[in-house]
Structure 1
């Protein structure tokens, strides 16, 4: 049978929209007689004009198939008592309205006095379940609330929220739209059912006498909270709070950092996230130590319509201390800043900055501050050096131009005396640094044309590595260059790429030491440079069984007129000393074998006639395995003394370059690159390693031996020259899973020249779907400044829904 029913009251719609479909059983049969029994299931009670009551014929607007404002109800029976002003739905009650679904064994609606303005009461009994539009689900044994959802009480309440969070309580009280309370409650994001369906204790949980969810502040508060790990209560907190997991981003505590070291004793760091606005937040992270004073860390982040800033900072007031935490000296302020910002001016221009400074050269080591030496801008400093810069960049499809000013702070210990930190007065201030590039769309003689420009000014207070402070060299340079290249490919596959490169430089150099005390001189000069040549390759392909084999001979011919190098002095043997601010770190390998000018900077330029040759072979299997090998070297008409004796490029025939990599099986990859002596094939530089991964874990191993310029010294004229030293170290690390949830971690770095471990880490971890705990023992044998060897134990705790990335929520 089908009876006409009037539209639900406005109070009912308001209640449903507020979040619980309990008001769906408002009086919908006002003309029925007392105890009138309705047996028709599954009707739309308020169909849109012209629509049938059957949901299958309603216009599908919501996910439940109902049109806007339509209400659908199912029940075994519906009873209306006009005298008592009650409506009762019994038996498998299901009500749907605007994406929400209510299920219960019985639902009773009691009208308030006057019906239009009175306060009604809704009661749901037995297996009460509310499924919200966002997928979250709420459960209760019994639920009572007013029809406007301003207040209510639930018994035996539980809910499954977003991110698989579960929360339950003996009773729940809804004060208003923003405040909800639970009594004798428990909160966990962990699984509470085993694979066989039986109940199990969650990996971690928070239980409390009282829990308050404040939606306005987006925080969940706990009174008398107990944090349980694997069912065991470990931490008691009279008051505790964290961000509401239903909120997009909210204030609250993040995961703590716990450790112990012989430098600081027991250390506890507790980050707290404070959301300042929809586009900014602040993390305050005090580090409390038993041996030394606390260190206050912080991070401020803000987004703008055109970019963002990220500023990390730290402060403490304390005496200095050594590796055993023994204090000395006087109290003073110690601080650091690690900041960056990047902004888009329009579709072509952007600008930004980095600010990296510390008042204490060993602050990061003493307090174990992580993620210090990272890239924060376009210009990157070396390890253990901080770089502050301001830059502007314009870029489009054809051109690029940038301008920057750069300052560097060095924190690196001396190789000869690790107790001494490098002198920052020897680092130049780079301002300005201008680079430009332009590539026209049209071709020139059928080839690609590029035009580049560069300008830089370096100002240095003091010459490095001198016993008596002496003036450092200041230099200014302006460069313009043009590069042309064209590709010819023959039908047989032979590829020839002729190229021409022309460059002109103008230099102004001052504060050049004359070798007599601190007397200096200056020079101004210019030069024209160029190179012409061709790259030649002839790849040969062949199919062999289930693999493709590629053999490729490679050659480059390059000819340059004799270059005018900038001479700023002579050594004791009378050999010239060249200005070299930007080409000190030259490493001859497969990446620059076929560069016509192998110098990485502008100050030195490779000249003469040379021939670079190599052979490259590759095997590519159909199942994804691969292997490749390259062998090559360089030949020149005469020796060139602008290269150091350890570079492998000074003589007429260079050292051999060998580079290979392979992936022989799934989960394993290996690589090696080496520079071998031209005559004896002795190893001058070798870097090799392997990476492995499987269901049991992952790991890597690295080996490096290098005879290269790793230090510098200054001659009597104040010019920097390299000092030859040898580096040899072994690096290994990995993670091994011993069981489903347990595993071991290890890391080690050994200096094979000193025959000592630089650092060693050994750890054990437990992990599951909502928690990871790492306990790591670390021993450092290095000496950095006043800090000698150290030992520490760190506990890293990561909890699901707590302590995630700041903008990850």
Structure 2
């Protein structure tokens, strides 16, 4: 039968069954019990639907009883029971006999019997069990709803692991938590445990007579976080215990003292605050101690040692943004010695190289057709041999671009403007011990870029373009080279331009199960002769050019078809040149694919602005080859190389593979470089192998591997080997790691790590 608002007795009976969700303290149930504008089961607000074999109303005793296969639906929740009794005189509701509630999210709660007052302020459930989201199972001998603020479970067990074997028989969960009593205090937003035991495969691992943690329903709560215990030959045995202080709904502070047996304690602090327009995230660290070596032997004077890693980003309005980063440390090896993680991360729009810190202040404005930014930053180097006095202070750095909203002469027009000033305290050349003043430079640039595209009926694609640029430079304290040094100060302007077109003509051929594509590509470019900005000559008489923004230039497939292959402004290509290539692809119908690109750059004259090892100095450049393939599901391959123009010897090559399957995953990377990517430097040799992965020998047990080998030095930089156990709710890693000596860094180290990760409990309980 269907009951409306007049069926108050049946409605209260349903609410008695709904008490089961209240008893386990789930916020979802509380939301489900509130009237809604539209019920997911189609009932109108305040209505319910009930089926029962028999409904009895006893007016004398003022009781209503429903018996049989009872099904009650209300606000998207379904109650099933064998008996439902409402005692109006005593104000009690009782549901019993295979009682269960199925919620809209699929979670299910069970109880042998539920008793609840008609105000839903207190109640008891016996034989309580629940299957919640994330496959969590919860059971208790009894669940007591003492008030709207306090819930209690007695003789409770919690696990997200499977408790049934494939044949349907019961089994011990991989891990579980048992406690004599669990109390949820909503006022204090805490959950208390008494006599709790963490069990692994049924065996007790940790016994905690009493402990507490923030209520999962609470947004945030002060308290202890996961500790970290790690043995180290540098610091001895270290124990770090974070504690979270919730300062306000919008800010918190985490204090993490690190206690070491060999060296003095180190304190880490993490502060976060969110404002209406942005947020600040700041990390600090401090200790007062001597320096120490790889074995923990201290030396030198006692002094303060510290670091800061901070950032902030704020919105002024829907277009304007500003922000900052502050990154500094007192010791180059501080992060390594105290094993501080998350250091070399991107915190702002400008990113420093590895093992270098950047502090910056920036302002940006962005719209659909325009962008402008202004910034200033400085860099701290932590590499061996870094001298901060030789690093420039960049202030200001201004960049802007604007695109015309409508086509100009049938094409797209973009305008750009930029300016930068670099100031150095000390020059890195000409006997650094003399501490000569560093080179200072200033540049202002305005440029225009126009391009359009035509495609013929036959498929020929032609894209003409025109680019023009004006640069103005001012240079002070020029000490480049020891022979023919230019004047200490100079100002100059120059005009640059390039005109050309891109031409491509893809050919398609359809076969039975795949499509083949061959596409010749040609880019033509012409620029007037350009005089690079010369600083002087080095000790062997070669010209030294101003080059502040193209120090890490590398010729590969990503810039093969660029009219100006230099990534910055200081150096630029000129003359007549053609970039040519042939790209081929095979696309199978089942998703497999393979691509190959071969190309090179040709010019009418040599360009001495390119370094000897760049592969671009001669009239005919080195060959660029790049390929990728996905021959099988779960397998991908890639390779890229630069081959010498005459001998076809490998100047630089990188190749790798990725594989994944139900048995695990793996990857391998190989890099061989016989030339320095710095366009103005001499050659160096690099050869490196990087590999890693996991493979499972059985359903639960596997091996993990990671290694990084310097093939040039014939030595491993780092290598890991581990044994892994995993199932649906647990992962245990046993990892042996060895790090070899790195020049200018700390010495070699060995460690053994045991890392236990339990599903639904967040971070590992123990890790090295």
Q: Which 10-residue stretch deviates more, 559-568 or 794-803? A: 794-803
Seen in structure 2, the aligned counterparts of structure 1 residues 255 and 801 have a Cα distance that, compared at 3 Å, is farther
CA contact 1:131–1:138 (8 Å) conserved in 2: yes
TM-score by length of 2: 0.89
How many angstroms apart in 2 are the aligned matches of 1:16 and 1:628? Answer: 66
Counterpart of 1:594? 561
Counterpart of 2:397? 433
1:207-250 per-residue CA deviation (whole Å, 9 max, x = no partner) reads 12221122344432212222112222111223333444455666
How many angstroms apart in 2 are the aligned matches of 1:63 and 1:488? Answer: 55
1:791 has 2:750 as partner: yes
Seen in structure 2, the aligned counterparts of structure 1 residues 572 and 71 have a Cα distance that, compared at 3 Å, is closer
Q: Provide the secondary structure at the position in 2 that maps to 1:365.
A: helix
How many angstroms apart in 1 are the aligned matches of 2:433 and 2:126? Answer: 81
Cα RMSD of the aligned pairs, angstroms, is 3.4
How many angstroms apart in 2 are the aligned matches of 1:504 and 1:4? Answer: 80
Counterpart of 1:180? 151
Seen in structure 2, the aligned counterparts of structure 1 residues 293 and 770 have a Cα distance that, compared at 3 Å, is farther
Seen in structure 2, the aligned counterparts of structure 1 residues 342 and 449 have a Cα distance that, compared at 3 Å, is same
Counterpart of 1:159? 130
- Match for residue 333 of structure 2 among 354, 362, 383: 362
CA contact 1:218–1:251 (8 Å) conserved in 2: no
1:464 has 2:435 as partner: no
Counterpart of 2:316? 345
Counting only pairs closer than 5 Å after superposition, residues 509-528 of structure 1 correspond to structure 2 as: 509-513=475-479, 521-528=488-495
Deviation at 1:436, TM superposition (A): 0.9
Counterpart of 1:626? 593
1:547-567 per-residue CA deviation (whole Å, 9 max, x = no partner) reads 221212222222222212222
How many angstroms apart in 2 are the aligned matches of 1:3 and 1:504? Answer: 82
Q: Which 10-residue stretch deviates more, 405-414 or 99-108? A: 99-108
1:736-788 per-residue CA deviation (whole Å, 9 max, x = no partner) reads 11222222111111001111001101122222222222222211113264511
Deviation at 1:686, TM superposition (A): 0.7
- Match for residue 504 of structure 2 among 537, 540, 546: 537
Deviation at 1:506, TM superposition (A): 0.7
Q: Provide the secondary structure at the position in 2 that maps to 1:708.
A: coil
1:387-431 per-residue CA deviation (whole Å, 9 max, x = no partner) reads 2222222222221111111121211234xxxxxxx1222211111
1:477 has 2:443 as partner: yes
Counterpart of 2:300? 329
Counterpart of 1:307? 278
How many angstroms apart in 2 are the aligned matches of 1:620 and 1:652? Answer: 35
1:265-316 per-residue CA deviation (whole Å, 9 max, x = no partner) reads 3444455555555554554444444433444444444444433343334334
CA contact 1:514–1:520 (8 Å) conserved in 2: no
TM-score by length of 1: 0.85
Seen in structure 2, the aligned counterparts of structure 1 residues 746 and 287 have a Cα distance that, compared at 3 Å, is farther
Counterpart of 1:70? 47
Seen in structure 2, the aligned counterparts of structure 1 residues 176 and 610 have a Cα distance that, compared at 3 Å, is same
Higher relative contact order (CA 8 A, sep 6+): 1
CA contact 2:17–2:114 (8 Å) conserved in 1: no
Counterpart of 2:694? 735
CA contact 1:308–1:342 (8 Å) conserved in 2: yes
Q: Which 10-residue stretch deviates more, 288-297 or 669-678? A: 288-297
Counterpart of 1:447? 411
Counterpart of 2:29? none
1:698 has 2:665 as partner: yes
1:662-702 per-residue CA deviation (whole Å, 9 max, x = no partner) reads 11222111111111111111111111111111111111111
1:339-391 per-residue CA deviation (whole Å, 9 max, x = no partner) reads 33333333322222222222222122123333322222221211111222222
How many angstroms apart in 1 are the aligned matches of 2:110 and 2:588? Answer: 56
How many angstroms apart in 1 are the aligned matches of 2:487 and 2:435? Answer: 13
The higher radius of gyration belongs to 1
Q: Provide the secondary structure at the position in 2 that maps to 1:222.
A: strand
Seen in structure 2, the aligned counterparts of structure 1 residues 784 and 388 have a Cα distance that, compared at 3 Å, is farther
Seen in structure 2, the aligned counterparts of structure 1 residues 249 and 229 have a Cα distance that, compared at 3 Å, is farther
1:455-511 per-residue CA deviation (whole Å, 9 max, x = no partner) reads 001111122362442221111110111122232333333333222221111111112
Q: Provide the secondary structure at the position in 2 that maps to 1:521.
A: coil
Counterpart of 2:642? 675
Seen in structure 2, the aligned counterparts of structure 1 residues 147 and 290 have a Cα distance that, compared at 3 Å, is farther
1:84-128 per-residue CA deviation (whole Å, 9 max, x = no partner) reads 55544444444444444444444444445xxxxxx6333444433
What runs of 5+ residues in structure 2 fail to find an aligned partner? 24-34
How many angstroms apart in 2 are the aligned matches of 1:403 and 1:87? Answer: 75
Q: Which 10-residue stretch deviates more, 388-397 or 136-145? A: 136-145
Q: Which 10-residue stretch deviates more, 694-703 or 506-515? A: 506-515
How many angstroms apart in 1 are the aligned matches of 2:378 and 2:594? Answer: 43
1:190 has 2:165 as partner: no
Counterpart of 1:403? 374
Seen in structure 2, the aligned counterparts of structure 1 residues 515 and 690 have a Cα distance that, compared at 3 Å, is closer
Seen in structure 2, the aligned counterparts of structure 1 residues 66 and 543 have a Cα distance that, compared at 3 Å, is closer
- Match for residue 741 of structure 2 among 782, 795, 801: 782
How many angstroms apart in 2 are the aligned matches of 1:63 and 1:178? Answer: 28
1:31-89 per-residue CA deviation (whole Å, 9 max, x = no partner) reads xxxxxxxxxxxxxxxxx9xxxxxxxxxx9953344332234444444455555555444
Seen in structure 2, the aligned counterparts of structure 1 residues 316 and 77 have a Cα distance that, compared at 3 Å, is farther
Q: Provide the secondary structure at the position in 1 that maps to 2:336.
A: helix
CA contact 1:15–1:21 (8 Å) conserved in 2: no
- Match for residue 193 of structure 2 among 204, 216, 222: 222
Deviation at 1:323, TM superposition (A): 1.8
Seen in structure 2, the aligned counterparts of structure 1 residues 299 and 188 have a Cα distance that, compared at 3 Å, is farther
Deviation at 1:258, TM superposition (A): 4.3
CA contact 2:193–2:211 (8 Å) conserved in 1: yes
Seen in structure 2, the aligned counterparts of structure 1 residues 602 and 519 have a Cα distance that, compared at 3 Å, is closer
Deviation at 1:453, TM superposition (A): 0.8
Deviation at 1:723, TM superposition (A): 4.4
Q: Which 10-residue stretch deviates more, 563-572 or 279-288? A: 279-288
Q: Provide the secondary structure at the position in 1 that maps to 2:464.
A: strand
Q: Provide the secondary structure at the position in 2 that maps to 1:163.
A: helix
Counterpart of 1:28? none
Seen in structure 2, the aligned counterparts of structure 1 residues 655 and 780 have a Cα distance that, compared at 3 Å, is same
How many angstroms apart in 2 are the aligned matches of 1:168 and 1:228? Answer: 15
Seen in structure 2, the aligned counterparts of structure 1 residues 250 and 132 have a Cα distance that, compared at 3 Å, is farther
CA contact 2:130–2:138 (8 Å) conserved in 1: yes
Counterpart of 2:235? 264
- Match for residue 803 of structure 1 among 744, 748, 762: 762
Q: Which 10-residue stretch deviates more, 424-433 or 533-542? A: 533-542
CA contact 1:610–1:634 (8 Å) conserved in 2: yes
1:601-640 per-residue CA deviation (whole Å, 9 max, x = no partner) reads 1111112222222222221121212112122222222222
Counterpart of 2:388? 424
Seen in structure 2, the aligned counterparts of structure 1 residues 109 and 97 have a Cα distance that, compared at 3 Å, is same
Seen in structure 2, the aligned counterparts of structure 1 residues 4 and 790 have a Cα distance that, compared at 3 Å, is closer
Q: Which 10-residue stretch deviates more, 437-446 or 262-271? A: 262-271
Seen in structure 2, the aligned counterparts of structure 1 residues 503 and 149 have a Cα distance that, compared at 3 Å, is same
Seen in structure 2, the aligned counterparts of structure 1 residues 297 and 162 have a Cα distance that, compared at 3 Å, is farther
Counterpart of 2:460? 494
